[in-house]
Structure 1
Amino acid sequence: MSRRRRTGAAPRTARARTAGLVTAALLGSLLAGCTGGGGGSDDDGGSGRPSRSPDESARPPGPVLAVKIDNVAPARPQAGLDTADVVYAEQVEGGLSRLMAVYASRWPESVGPVRSARESDLELLRQFHDPTLAFSGAQHKLLPLIDKAPLRAATPESEPDAFYRATGRSAPHDLFLHPRELMGSAPGTDALTNGFRFGAAPSGGTPESARTVRFPAARFTFTWSGDRERWLVSTDGRPTVTPEGDRVAPATVVVQYVSVHDSTFHDYLGSATPYTETVGAGRAQVLRDGRSYEGHWKRDTATQGTKFTTPEGAPLNFAKGQVWVVLAQKP
């Protein structure tokens, strides 16, 4: 199951890569007005892009790295969660949860435990250009869909030097990734083409000290810390921490209400694999600065990012820093 880059295509030569960079640079100069993602300053017009020098503007951003991360009790504490730009929480078999951490600003030393991919991941990742998806494997019937997806699939079989088994952990919760062994330099926040906007908070909002989001067999609680100006994450009633004991604490939490239904895939026990629809529109709640804001999300096609707006239709800006998106079943 070797997938060095997009499966089914031969690796590009140095000449082809150079030509691709030149073409992308020319296109980038024509598309300078597009909205990006990531954590820019609050005076950047709400795009979330940091200011760049002319030389930086000429360089096209590289791919983001997305890693599927285990989220059951034996997998904790997880490595690398605090470094991610965006963390998506999704439902998997049995009503449990799994995470997808997306990196662009910088690579952590280690990420994991790494677990298997799901069909929903392919739709979610279409918003990024040629992303790398690191995962431990997938159901054999799903592998042809991963082969055809516009992404680089990285597994322990295809990238053995980048993955390792951690001591003191039992399988399958012991597989970790060294991103620097897999990726080039971090592309920066311009590669986060997920439609997020960063800037001043909208008017109004409701004071919120804590919010719990429940899956059938998992739950997330986000507790506001005024001292840190961040939301402290707990999973299934326990603090979510790094291996060093540091609390994972995003600046913004998005509860995105979506349709979650059975897919055509099943796990080895016969349980249906949930499919989470991230293309469409619906209600959202955005937690930032100790307040909750009602909002609306919209993603017209898989190749577009998600727009979050207030009930009046104005952009709903996020606070600068890490974002957690909990993909919750709509009522």
Structure 2
Amino acid sequence: MTAPASSPSRPVGRRTVVIAVAVVAALLLGAALVVVISRGDPDAERTTPQGDQPTTAPASDTTEGTVPGLRFLPEDVPDDGSRAPLTGLPVADPRTLDRPLLAIKVDNLDVPGETARPQTGLAFADVVVEEVVEGGITRFVLLMHSTDPPPVGPIRSARTTDVHLLPAFGTSLFAYSGGNPGVLAAVRAAPAILDRGGESPPAYVRVPDRSAPHDLYLRTEVVWGDPGVATPPPPLSDFRPRGAPVSGGEPTGGVAIDHGGMASSPIRWEWQPTVRRWVRYQRESVHVDGEGYAVGPRNVVVAFTDYRPSPADPRSPEAVTVGAGEAWILIDGKVVTGRWERPTEDSPFSLLDAAGRPVRLSAGRTWIELVEPAAATLLPAA
């Protein structure tokens, strides 16, 4: 695989833009959810779901500082020894660790005049993988396991990138809105993926306050209610206790990413030391989800990879996630320059430093950016 050139990083100025975003959760959880999808059938049954699912989130997080105007999903809960495999964090209810991984495809179109923001569920995912689709647009694969999110969305279609990516995390349920015939055939043929795309109500619902195609949402409890042979995920890392020293690495203020293309939305991750999180900016505004939580994971992994034309549609890029490539692993205000490795499709990702030693992520949530060489630039440390 092609690695990015080892030229010095361009300095990029740091700007902090704080925005207040109206919370869509009230609309999702309080308003009637209507017009249900059933594999694209225009005569699909209409329904209003009963008994909205409560959000499982602890009431406080005493280890955090504050960033004015921002709030983050709390993480500290009583520690009874149960740890989530994708975060290394204690969980409020250990029984959640027995359920399978649920991978959800979420919209991220964000251009002047049309946007999928604010999405719901971003702050609740244990891991989020961001991949490029047509025109430089990105979509998210939310890996849900240890928390109970509100209805997640907007849901969008699958790509062949997902078919090759998801087996790295075990046998998972996969929720998405559809795809072309080649993609659908690949999803259904994948032994490590249980197809839960385009299901009938009450799993998928359309909300009245958003326009199609940005109006389709998923009720995760319905999908988890039919787990089939899907399994809990393997551990993502041998997690470091939060605040433990990072082995190696250089201080950095974060990373800027620009995928190019007419519909690309520039991305920036900035280190916020008072909360020990990487805060995400998109189009120069803090990325806040529909529950009002700022996107602020503990780890950001920039995995440099090639994109090739998808066999299902040559106009659609497919990320190459089997093999190896350079990686920037952002942890606790530092960047560890190393590699990602995944020798086979059913292998997990390994993150290694320049000497070939495993890199331990910080306990907490992780975002993985699938980035082409030269599309990312490190920011100078403050």
TM-score range, shorter chain: 0.7 to 0.9
Q: C-alpha distance in 1, partners of 2:232/2:325?
A: 25
**Aligned runs of 1:100-249 on 2, under 5 Å?**
100-150=141-191, 151-156=193-198, 158-184=199-225, 191-193=232-234, 195-199=236-240, 200-216=244-260, 217-249=264-296
Q: C-alpha distance in 2, partners of 1:72/1:232?
A: 19
Q: Is the 8 Å Cα contact of residues 99 and 224 (structure 2) preserved in structure 1?
A: no
Q: 2:348 aligns with which of 305, 312, 324?
A: 305
Q: C-alpha distance in 1, partners of 2:203/2:226?
A: 15
Q: Is the 8 Å Cα contact of residues 87 and 366 (structure 2) preserved in structure 1?
A: no
Report the alpha carbon displacement of residue 220 of structure 1 after superposing the two structures with TM.
1.8
Q: Which 5+ residue runs of structure 1 have no aligned equivalent?
A: 3-35, 42-49
Q: Does 1:259 align with 2:281?
A: no
Q: Is the 8 Å Cα contact of residues 69 and 114 (structure 1) preserved in structure 2?
A: yes
TM-score under structure 1 length normalisation: 0.77
Match of residue 38 from structure 1: 86
Q: Is the 8 Å Cα contact of residues 171 and 233 (structure 2) preserved in structure 1?
A: no
Percentage of matched positions with identical amino acids:
33
Check 1:249–1:290 CA distance in 2 against 1; reply closer, same or farther (3 A cut): same
Match of residue 320 from structure 2: 277
Report the alpha carbon displacement of residue 194 of structure 1 after superposing the two structures with TM.
6.1
Match of residue 23 from structure 2: none
Q: 1:64 aligns with which of 101, 122, 128?
A: 101
Q: Is the 8 Å Cα contact of residues 101 and 232 (structure 2) preserved in structure 1?
A: yes
Q: Which 5+ residue runs of structure 2 have no aligned equivalent?
A: 1-37, 40-83, 375-382
3-state SS, counterpart of residue 138 of structure 1? coil
Q: C-alpha distance in 2, partners of 1:92/1:159?
A: 26
Check 1:185–1:272 CA distance in 2 against 1; reply closer, same or farther (3 A cut): closer
Worse overlay, 235-244 or 255-264: 235-244
* Paired AA for residue 252 in structure 2: E
* Paired AA for residue 171 in structure 1: A
Match of residue 25 from structure 1: none
Q: C-alpha distance in 2, partners of 1:202/1:289?
A: 7
3-state SS, counterpart of residue 161 of structure 2? helix
**Runs of 4+ in structure 1 over 6 Å off:** none
Report Cα offsets for 1:108-141 as digits up to 9, x if no partner. 0211100000001011111233311100000122
Match of residue 45 from structure 1: none
Q: C-alpha distance in 2, partners of 1:235/1:226?
A: 20
Match of residue 337 from structure 2: 294
Report the alpha carbon displacement of residue 201 of structure 1 after superposing the two structures with TM.
4.7
TM-score under structure 2 length normalisation: 0.68
Q: C-alpha distance in 1, partners of 2:330/2:169?
A: 24
Report the alpha carbon displacement of residue 210 of structure 1 after superposing the two structures with TM.
2.7
Report the alpha carbon displacement of residue 166 of structure 1 after superposing the two structures with TM.
1.5
Report the alpha carbon displacement of residue 78 of structure 1 after superposing the two structures with TM.
0.3
Check 1:220–1:320 CA distance in 2 against 1; reply closer, same or farther (3 A cut): same
RMSD over aligned CA atoms reads 2.5
Q: Is the 8 Å Cα contact of residues 264 and 272 (structure 1) preserved in structure 2?
A: no
Q: C-alpha distance in 2, partners of 1:127/1:136?
A: 22
3-state SS, counterpart of residue 181 of structure 1? helix
**Aligned runs of 1:310-321 on 2, under 5 Å?**
310-321=353-364
Q: Is the 8 Å Cα contact of residues 302 and 329 (structure 2) preserved in structure 1?
A: yes
Match of residue 328 from structure 1: 371
Report Cα offsets for 1:227-283 as digits up to 9, x if no partner. 1110111123221111232211000000000111212333xxxx7100101110111
Q: Is the 8 Å Cα contact of residues 106 and 141 (structure 2) preserved in structure 1?
A: yes
Match of residue 19 from structure 1: none
Q: Is the 8 Å Cα contact of residues 161 and 181 (structure 1) preserved in structure 2?
A: yes
Report the alpha carbon displacement of residue 96 of structure 1 after superposing the two structures with TM.
1.1
Q: Does 1:87 align with 2:131?
A: no
Report the alpha carbon displacement of residue 284 of structure 1 after superposing the two structures with TM.
0.3
* Paired AA for residue 293 in structure 1: V
